[in-house]
Chains A and B, each alone.
Chain A
Amino acid sequence: MTTDLRELLRTTAAEAGNTVDLAEEAVAERIRHRRARSRRLAIGGTALAAAVVIAGTTWAVRPGDGHPPAASGPTAAAVPPRIVTSDVDNLSGMEAALQATLTTDANGCVRPAAQSDVVLVWPRGYTVRGDSTSFEILDAANKVVARSGTPITMGGGGADRFQPTWTGRDCATGGPLWMVGGISARR
């Protein structure tokens, strides 16, 4: 059987050369896309790992009771909190995730507590209210989407550079830019 079956399989396999399309260029393009995406996810993963390590040792989070919990850290309550907003109305559709607890830096700029170099870029129309120790982020419809001191997961992904049409340039430290996507409570 061995010989016969081998011959039969070879005969059958010979059909493949003419009929099986490898779509080389399309596959190459798909690989490029996936590699770019995994680079973005790697940035998010690194940020997450750093957040987990540093959050436990650097920042303390006070549980809330209906009011926005206070952000702690080297902030001055007198400085009003500020955010960077883009010129896009919608949340970023990118699929990486950043887990963070929001706080403000010494200039009042809202940042992830454990990654103070990351610049959060919120959609156009988003605002912040409260003070730099206890604040809320509101969307364009004035609905609260995040509170200081509360651990959240932000979808989104990185951006290459700060655009001239965005607000809050003085909050851009030169660190990674995170286009904020969907926000959910951290599980």
Chain B
Amino acid sequence: MVADWEPAFRALLAARGDALRSYAYLLTGDASTAGDLVQEALTRVFSRRRIGGDVNELEAYVRRAMLNQYIDSRRRLRRWNATRHLLVDLPHHDDDRLAVADDVRRALATLSSKQRACVVLRYYEDLPVSEIADELGCAEGTVKRHLADARAKLATQLGVTEESTP
């Protein structure tokens, strides 16, 4: 017997699976970790006893779960990340488009988890600062500070022009 959650689960992945993949990939910068992040968030959200059928609402829950999980896991893995480059060769691509993506991933990897989340939410998801603050559970001023710090780092590494306001 198909439980109520399953049609909603299938519908969400059919409609928004790609968007969730992209979001996770930008947060983590690694396909395997991104897969784990989405899978765990889906498992958490759909393991709840009561699941609504609205895809947009479910997507919001899954994204929120991914974000929380990403920030928590980054805290735990901070030490590993600090030394990871000594042990793992980050992939290198000759293709121009892939090489750009490599550069972006490397640059994003230098940001703190909250800076990175702010950048992804602001410049990829196009969320206003107020909504980012809501997502992260912090003040708008904190988000602006994270964005400013992140932009300063990315401006140097990616050679893009820094703007004065988010």
Q: Chain A residues in contact with chain B, CB under 8 A?
A: 1-2, 4-6, 8-17, 19-24, 26-28, 30-32, 34-35, 38, 42
B38 and A20 contact, CB distance less than 8 A: yes
Besides A17-B18, A17-B21, 14 new A-B residue pairs in contact (Cβ under 8 A), listed by A number: A1-B154, A2-B123, A6-B124, A9-B26, A9-B119, A11-B100, A15-B98, A20-B25, A20-B34, A26-B39, A27-B42, A27-B43, A30-B39, A35-B3
Q: What residues of chain A lie closer than 8 Å to B9, measured between beta carbons?
A: 28, 31
Given A15-B98, A15-B101, A35-B3: A23 in contact with B35 (beta carbons within 8 A) = yes
Among A1, A8, A20, A42, the one with the most B-chain Cβ atoms within 10 Å of its Cβ is A20
Q: Verify if B55 is at the interface (C-beta below 8 Å from A).
A: no
Given A22-B20, A38-B47: A16 in contact with B163 (beta carbons within 8 A) = no
Q: What residues of chain A lie closer than 8 Å to B138, measured between beta carbons?
A: none
Interface string of B15-37 (1 = CB under 8 A from A): 00110111111100001001100
What's the minimum C-beta distance from A136 to chain B, rounded to whole angstroms?
39
The range of chain B's interface size is 35 or more
Bound form: Cα–Cα A30–B36 in Å: 13
Chain B contact residues: helix, strand, loop or mixed: helix
Q: Verify if B162 is at the interface (C-beta below 8 Å from A).
A: yes
Chain A contact residues: helix, strand, loop or mixed: helix
A13 and B25 contact, CB distance less than 8 A: yes
Bound form: Cα–Cα A114–B26 in Å: 53
A23 and B39 contact, CB distance less than 8 A: yes
B101 and A12 contact, CB distance less than 8 A: yes
Query: Which chain B residue lies CB-closest to A16?
Result: B25
